[in-house]
Chain A
Amino acid sequence: MANTPTGRASVQRPDNMMLRRTRSLFLVCGIVAFLLLGFRLFWIMVVQHDEYEEQAVRQTVVRQNVLGLRGTIYDANGKILAKSATKDTVILSPADIKKYDQDLDGIAKVLSENLADYGVTYEQIIELSRDTDSYYKIVARKVDREDTDPIREYKNSITGGVNGIVLSPDSKRYYPYGSLAAHVLGYVGIDNDGLAGVESQYDNVLAGGMGRITRLRDKSQIGMLNVKYEDYTQETAGADVKLTLDANIQYYLEKHLKQAVEDYDVRNGAAAIAMDPNTGAILGMASLGNFDPNDYQTLSEEAEEELATAEEEEHLTKTEMSELRTAALFKQWRNKGLSDTYEPGSTFKIITLAMGLDSGVIDLNSSFYCGGSTTVIGRTTPLNCWKTDGSHADQTLTQAVQHSCNVAFAEIGERVGAKTFYKYCDAFGFLELTDDKEATLTAKTGIDLAGESGSIWWSEDTFYNPENHSQLASASFGQTFNVTPLQMVTAISACVNGGYLMKPYIVQEITDASGRIVASNEPTVVRQVVSEETSATVRQILEKVVGDPVDGTGKNAYVAGYRIGGKTGTSEKVAQDAAGGPKEYIVSFVGVAPADDPKIVILTLLDTPSDETGIYISGGQMGAPTVGKMMADILPYLGVDPVYTAEEKANMDETVPSLTGMDVNEAVALLEQRGFNARIIGEEGEVTHQLPGTGATIANGSTVLLYAGEEPSEEQEEMIDLSYLTYNDARDYLAAMGLFVSTSSSVTSPSTQAVLAQSIPEGTLVDHGTVIEVTLVTGDQSMLGMY
């Protein structure tokens, strides 16, 4: 036994048993163990690979869907009418708050502080958090990024993030012009679906493509893995849509339509459509009462007042009120020009006129007699003209249209014949003839806008009845059938554009996110309905309706310098009449300009003007001036140059030239040349001062003050009330005071047109030489009952 193992002599080698046991234990156990490990690894990593990988992927991969931003809607000039912006929807997960024991107080504070504008309160968060089974409680939708930034910051303030608050990307639709073109644009719902108008019609184009973020997350979600593993299926922005609608034209339509609704106390809404007759492109389409698509669920103030009144007066229950509210909402969302049908009345005479001319049964030399009424086959009572005193008497074709004579048009219809009449109606797109002769007939224009209604016409059997021509007679002047205003505009455009029925459209082109045009609408000729000659004749006659200051029922639509054609329409609402209620009317006017080469057709209809305004309810009195004002704004905008007649020129305001320093006699000659009078104050030969100053525009025939050596008086004059004075009288009264008058209204008859409003109120002290601007009443009130 060696007690000193280091001693070389006493070294004890491991004995055989030790070597044997070592060898067998290590080698046997080692080989067995390593084989076992190898097999085990093979089993887990190859055989069970899929199963484990799936588990690992499931816990690490996060997939999030992101909806691409909705496309923008532009007007014809590239103005943005609708645009989407990125927002956040804030979601509370009470289950996570409980599970991860989060600071509810802190969460509720942060949310209520930053979302106060969205009506979120501290108590509300606490209340929501009680439902600890829920992972998804919406706190606020479509919140601005700047409001969610502090929430995002709070969420990331601790490692791994605060659990229980989720900010989900969302978007909100903005309509920068508010209610402008609301019915055309439509609106989008809370889930960004287009629910009306272009938004609905082109929803699949505008809608952004769904994108997907696939990323791996670390367990605490610090974001360590994101950089490395993020994998996008990029969401795609929706395509942009460019409309044919022009925001400026739309604005003018809405402005004057609104004014008309106020002026004539229109009770049941109004509509106006402007179309380029050569292409069928919609330039403007307005409907009142309207809404703000930014906030489409909110009723207009008037509608709210009406509801409140109804509630007070009729003691309605909550359910009844909510039904009324829903009905009011649907009413304000309704695009009257597209979705409502009406009896067009006399504006339809354009169509009858065109088919009469085209089929050759009438021409410009045709004459008609109206004794106030006529008989119609199958009709028990005589058919009355709107003017029953027989004063229409003998008329040329042009006069019959100018007068809007029902008797004459019943005769034209009779001459055309029921079958031909319907064939033309089919060709104009008012109805579609079918094999079923008993079927009520209908048609649509097929415009690319959601919500179009179809027309309603008598069945062929009824209309063609040889024993009863009363349907044909009434239809000839636009009654006993229903069409949409859009159908009227489209058909009338065909009558004036050379005879071609164009398919109306509202979208010019569609461009994808990169600006590439992916689709565009080209003008589509559906068919030629009437000949070029017919169309030219129609234009010629229509111009006489507006342009004739004596016989024209549409003269109130006249705009000085412009050749405007048009036709009035007044139709009694038959359903209302049948129900025994008070008589209600839809008054309308269609204007075409310039009459020799139409660039725009505007149809305006006012549903149920009040009989309490003192203005006679008729298309001529209400529709024509409205369209006239629209034309007065739109035609210069479209770049149509005014061409004034000599008479118009004589009536027009004129600019005062520079006279100071001139010889007095020369100055007087110059003034007279321009249609002014001159009054010389002082005795010198040279003009030392003039009133009004150079460049002032004042009424034709005004007396300009020429000072020859004297100074104008420093005194001031007290303004007088000019109401009800004619334009000439106003000019002369003011001249006596050393004041002047000018107007932006069109001056057709300065000796009869009266002042409606003045720029400087009565009683104001004004300097000598001041120019007062006045508004003139258009037309006179002498021609009552114009159809």
Chain B
Amino acid sequence: MSANSKAARRRSILPGLEAAAKHRGGFDITLLTLVLILLALGLLMVLSSSYPRAYSEALRTESGSPLDYFNHQLVFAVAGLFIMYAASWVPMSLYRQGAKLLYIFTIVMLAAVLVAGTAENNARRWIYLGFFSFQPSEISKLSIILLFADLIAKYRARMNTLKYGVVPYVVVLAIPFLLLFLEPHISCIIIVALVALTMLFIGGMPWKYLLTLFAGVALLGLLAFFVSNHVHVRILAWLHPAAYADDDISYQVRESLMAIGSGGLTGLGPGEGRQKYLYLPESHNDYIFSIVCEELGLLGAIAILLLLALMLLRCIQITLNAKDRFSFLVAAGITAHFGLQTILNILVVTNTIPCTGVSLPFFSYGGTALLMQLVEVGVLLSISRELPLSNAE
């Protein structure tokens, strides 16, 4: 009876998946649909927000076209969809088996980027691969999610011990964090750390360890505030925007708020934004949502937020119905990743929290990031193929 009631509850949460489950091997159309809608909107916004920048660069370099950014993103989106589809066919057991390998690959790539990477804005984050640049830090997210899921699923029962509940994770995180710190790519560390904490929390880590870790992170943050001028300035600039008016970061935030604020209820109209005309730096990237607000207004922004929320809700539903602990934890990690990036990105562009470089999933310009997001969707779709309902029968 209790199994029945659980199944009933699952059914009630997950009506759509039931139907999918009846055709074994089918994946969740709802998630795919939401992702495709978001991806299409994201591409349009990349087109709109990157056009002036690409235009001015084409003028300056006397080569290229105003569509360069859009085309680049489009190529990754199309390629990403194929890879996503392929990834959805990979059984979860294979992901679990490959988790350690992917982790090692990630470490190698993160080390390689420090040696062979190309620097941009004082950070060494990209490896140039002939026709496009590749950003290893983006892989680290999925890589950590998979390895954590594997470890937590394996040591679920011993999560309350220091040896199995804390140490492995700290060790697993320490190496990529060090490498990411050297790039530096602090925002990636923050995202990965938060995703990791989420997974540990869900994985049953006792409160004492959680709080200790949290305190540790807070301590590190405090340390960073005093040690790193970079962090220091960003926080002060957030607190006192006027005093840091000449600062680049403060400038960016101010321009972002102007973009969002001038959107009003209905926006200036698609493509009609002003701030993207070189006023708002990274208008196609981390600050793409500001342009969304400017051009589509509050109604458009809320609609897109709702789409993102629906997608996240679907992720949560898939998570809760995952067939086993590994899939469950992977789904939870990916959900946390999407959710955190979405929320943090919008908190940053609205200057609700200090500025840090977080991109908006499916919207922000960035090939590797988009590719990896679609791979993560593929993994979720794979999980949705292996729904446990057939077992329950």
Q: A37 vs B305: C-alpha distance in the bound complex, in angstroms?
A: 9
Within 8 A of A (CB), among B242-277: 254, 257-265, 274-275, 277
Residues of B within 8 A of A13 (CB): 323-325, 388
**Partner-binding segment picked from B51-59, B107-115, B134-142, B362-370:** B51-59
Cβ B274 vs Cβ A216 within 8 A: yes
Least Cβ–Cβ distance between B157 and chain A, in angstroms: 7
Contact of B264 among A38, A46, A220 (CB under 8 A): A46
Least Cβ–Cβ distance between A779 and chain B, in angstroms: 80
Interface check A232, CB cutoff 8 A: no
**Partner-binding segment picked from A25-33, A241-249, A624-632, A757-765:** A25-33
Interface check B153, CB cutoff 8 A: yes
A222 touching B260 in the complex, CB below 8 Å, given contacts A12-B324, A17-B204, A27-B316: no
Contact of A59 among B60, B279, B302 (CB under 8 A): B279
Least Cβ–Cβ distance between A155 and chain B, in angstroms: 15
Cβ A52 vs Cβ B52 within 8 A: no
Interface check B201, CB cutoff 8 A: yes
Interface check B176, CB cutoff 8 A: no
Contact code string A209-247 (vs B, CB < 8 Å = 1, else 0):
000000011111010110000000000000000000000
Contact code string B186-213 (vs A, CB < 8 Å = 1, else 0):
0000000000001001111000000000
Within 8 A of B (CB), among A1-29: 1, 3, 5-6, 8, 11-15, 17-19, 21-23, 25-27, 29
Cβ A45 vs Cβ B265 within 8 A: yes
Cβ A45 vs Cβ B319 within 8 A: no
Contact code string B151-183 (vs A, CB < 8 Å = 1, else 0):
001101100000000000000000000000000
Q: A6 vs B60: C-alpha distance in the bound complex, in angstroms?
A: 56
Cβ B259 vs Cβ A22 within 8 A: no
Q: A44 vs B388: C-alpha distance in the bound complex, in angstroms?
A: 45
Least Cβ–Cβ distance between A621 and chain B, in angstroms: 78
Q: A29 vs B309: C-alpha distance in the bound complex, in angstroms?
A: 12
**Partner-binding segment picked from B76-84, B219-227, B293-301:** B293-301
Interface check A159, CB cutoff 8 A: yes
Cβ A11 vs Cβ B323 within 8 A: yes
Cβ B343 vs Cβ A6 within 8 A: no
Within 8 A of A (CB), among B312-338: 312-313, 316, 319-320, 322-326, 328-329, 332, 335-336
Contact of B257 among A30, A36, A52, A59 (CB under 8 A): A52
Residues of B within 8 A of A27 (CB): 316
Least Cβ–Cβ distance between B199 and chain A, in angstroms: 10
Cβ B326 vs Cβ A5 within 8 A: yes
Cβ B277 vs Cβ A60 within 8 A: yes
Cβ A219 vs Cβ B277 within 8 A: yes
Interface check B278, CB cutoff 8 A: yes
**Partner-binding segment picked from B16-24, B27-35, B38-46, B346-354:** B346-354
Interface check B229, CB cutoff 8 A: no
Q: A455 vs B275: C-alpha distance in the bound complex, in angstroms?
A: 68
Least Cβ–Cβ distance between A6 and chain B, in angstroms: 4
Residues of B within 8 A of A1 (CB): 154, 157
Q: A14 vs B329: C-alpha distance in the bound complex, in angstroms?
A: 9
A22 touching B316 in the complex, CB below 8 Å, given contacts A45-B301, A52-B257: yes
Report the count of interface residues on A (CB-CB < 8 A): 51
Q: A40 vs B257: C-alpha distance in the bound complex, in angstroms?
A: 11
Residues of A within 8 A of B4 (CB): none
A159 touching B56 in the complex, CB below 8 Å, given contacts A22-B316, A52-B258, A52-B261: yes
Interface check A53, CB cutoff 8 A: yes
Q: A57 vs B273: C-alpha distance in the bound complex, in angstroms?
A: 11
Residues of B within 8 A of A44 (CB): 257, 260-261, 293, 350
Cβ A41 vs Cβ B293 within 8 A: yes
Least Cβ–Cβ distance between B278 and chain A, in angstroms: 4
Least Cβ–Cβ distance between B95 and chain A, in angstroms: 10
Interface check B232, CB cutoff 8 A: no
| Nearest opposing residue in chain B for A10, CB measure | B324
Cβ A159 vs Cβ B350 within 8 A: no
Cβ B279 vs Cβ A219 within 8 A: yes
Q: A219 vs B60: C-alpha distance in the bound complex, in angstroms?
A: 14
Q: A3 vs B97: C-alpha distance in the bound complex, in angstroms?
A: 11
Which of the listed residues A26, A59, A217 has the most CB atoms from chain B within 10 Å of its own CB?
A26
Interface check B339, CB cutoff 8 A: yes
Residues of A within 8 A of B260 (CB): 41, 44-45, 52
Q: Is the interface of B mostly helix, strand, loop or mixed?
A: helix
A45 touching B298 in the complex, CB below 8 Å, given contacts A11-B323, A18-B325, A219-B279: yes
Cβ A18 vs Cβ B328 within 8 A: yes
Q: A27 vs B203: C-alpha distance in the bound complex, in angstroms?
A: 17
Interface check B93, CB cutoff 8 A: yes
Which of the listed residues A11, A36, A44 has the most CB atoms from chain B within 10 Å of its own CB?
A44
Cβ B153 vs Cβ A21 within 8 A: no
Interface check A51, CB cutoff 8 A: yes
Least Cβ–Cβ distance between B292 and chain A, in angstroms: 10
A22 touching B297 in the complex, CB below 8 Å, given contacts A15-B156, A56-B275, A218-B56: no
Cβ B262 vs Cβ A53 within 8 A: yes
Cβ B265 vs Cβ A46 within 8 A: yes
Interface check B96, CB cutoff 8 A: yes
Interface check A521, CB cutoff 8 A: no
Cβ B156 vs Cβ A12 within 8 A: yes
Residues of B within 8 A of A225 (CB): 274, 277
Least Cβ–Cβ distance between A215 and chain B, in angstroms: 12
| Nearest opposing residue in chain A for B261, CB measure | A52
Cβ A14 vs Cβ B261 within 8 A: no
Residues of A within 8 A of B258 (CB): 52-53, 55-56, 59
Cβ A37 vs Cβ B319 within 8 A: no
Interface check A49, CB cutoff 8 A: yes
Cβ B343 vs Cβ A33 within 8 A: yes
Least Cβ–Cβ distance between A518 and chain B, in angstroms: 41
Contact of A222 among B56, B202, B329, B332 (CB under 8 A): B56
A46 touching B328 in the complex, CB below 8 Å, given contacts A34-B309, A225-B277: no
Least Cβ–Cβ distance between B160 and chain A, in angstroms: 11
Residues of B within 8 A of A25 (CB): 198, 201-202
Least Cβ–Cβ distance between B62 and chain A, in angstroms: 10
Least Cβ–Cβ distance between A702 and chain B, in angstroms: 84
Q: A59 vs B339: C-alpha distance in the bound complex, in angstroms?
A: 35
Interface check A42, CB cutoff 8 A: yes
Interface check A48, CB cutoff 8 A: yes
Contact of B324 among A11, A33, A36, A57 (CB under 8 A): A11
A224 touching B350 in the complex, CB below 8 Å, given contacts A34-B309, A59-B279, A219-B279: no
Residues of B within 8 A of A42 (CB): 298
Q: A159 vs B56: C-alpha distance in the bound complex, in angstroms?
A: 8
Residues of B within 8 A of A17 (CB): 204
Least Cβ–Cβ distance between B111 and chain A, in angstroms: 29
| Nearest opposing residue in chain B for A7, CB measure | B93
| Nearest opposing residue in chain A for B150, CB measure | A5
Q: A57 vs B332: C-alpha distance in the bound complex, in angstroms?
A: 44
| Nearest opposing residue in chain B for A11, CB measure | B324
| Nearest opposing residue in chain B for A37, CB measure | B346
Residues of A within 8 A of B326 (CB): 5
Cβ B93 vs Cβ A5 within 8 A: yes
Residues of A within 8 A of B202 (CB): 18, 21-22, 25
Q: A515 vs B120: C-alpha distance in the bound complex, in angstroms?
A: 62
Q: A220 vs B58: C-alpha distance in the bound complex, in angstroms?
A: 14
Contact of A218 among B52, B312, B329 (CB under 8 A): B52
Q: A41 vs B349: C-alpha distance in the bound complex, in angstroms?
A: 10
| Nearest opposing residue in chain A for B312, CB measure | A30
Besides A5-B325, A56-B261, 13 other A-B contacts (C-beta < 8 A): A5-B93, A5-B153, A12-B156, A18-B328, A29-B339, A36-B352, A41-B293, A45-B297, A46-B264, A56-B275, A219-B279, A222-B56, A225-B274
Instruction: Offer 28 A-B interface pairs, CB within 8 angstroms, sorted by A.
Output: A6-B93, A12-B153, A18-B156, A21-B202, A22-B319, A22-B328, A26-B319, A26-B332, A29-B339, A30-B313, A37-B343, A37-B347, A41-B301, A41-B350, A45-B260, A49-B261, A52-B257, A53-B258, A55-B254, A57-B262, A59-B258, A59-B279, A60-B274, A159-B56, A216-B274, A219-B279, A220-B278, A224-B55
